[in-house]
Amino acid sequence: MMILLVDDDNGSLMGMKFAIEMMGYECDEYLSPAEAIEKYSPAVHDMAVIDYQMPGLDGFEVLRRMRLKNPELEAIIISGCITIKAKPANLPFLFLKKPLGDEFFRALQAIDKKQSEAGNS
């Protein structure tokens, strides 16, 4: 599974990349939300992990723009902030708080399994 990572904090980005690759997945990582949107490719990326609070665009807007290319894109929005704007009801995704732990890894495995089963059907 190829995961697109977006986080404006380089330390968080590299930590997530390391953990995800230790699980056996591949990632493309971006510090810039705009660059991530531009580089996102449904033919390459199976899912996205997107930080909520970034300069310029929040994680919801990044996901909304990526879903213009692929409405079925699986996504996890992550946040270390205490409060966020109202979550859009028409934009399904999994929301997890930083620091990420077992729940994040279980979510990745569940998405991988779901996509594998869909590909075998």
Rg (CA), the chain: 13
pLDDT at 57: 92
What are 16-30's pLDDT values in tens digits? 999 999 999 999 999
- Our CA angle for 37, 57, 96, nearest 5°, is 90
Mean pLDDT of 49-77: 93
Structure tokens at 33: 């939300």
What is the distance between the alpha carbons of residues 103 and 85, in angstroms, rounded to a whole number? 22
Domain count, the chain: 1
Q: Is the dihedral of CA 74, 18, 105, 88 positive or negative?
A: negative
The domain that contains 72 carries what CATH number? 3.40.50.2300
Confidence of residue 101 (pLDDT cuts 50, 70, 90): confident
Residue 82 has pLDDT above 60, yes or no: no
Residue 65 identity? R
- Of the chain, the percentage scoring pLDDT greater than 90 comes to 61
- Looking up tokens 């994680």 gives 59
- pTM for the predicted model, two decimal places: 0.86
Q: Which domain holds residue 94?
A: 2-120
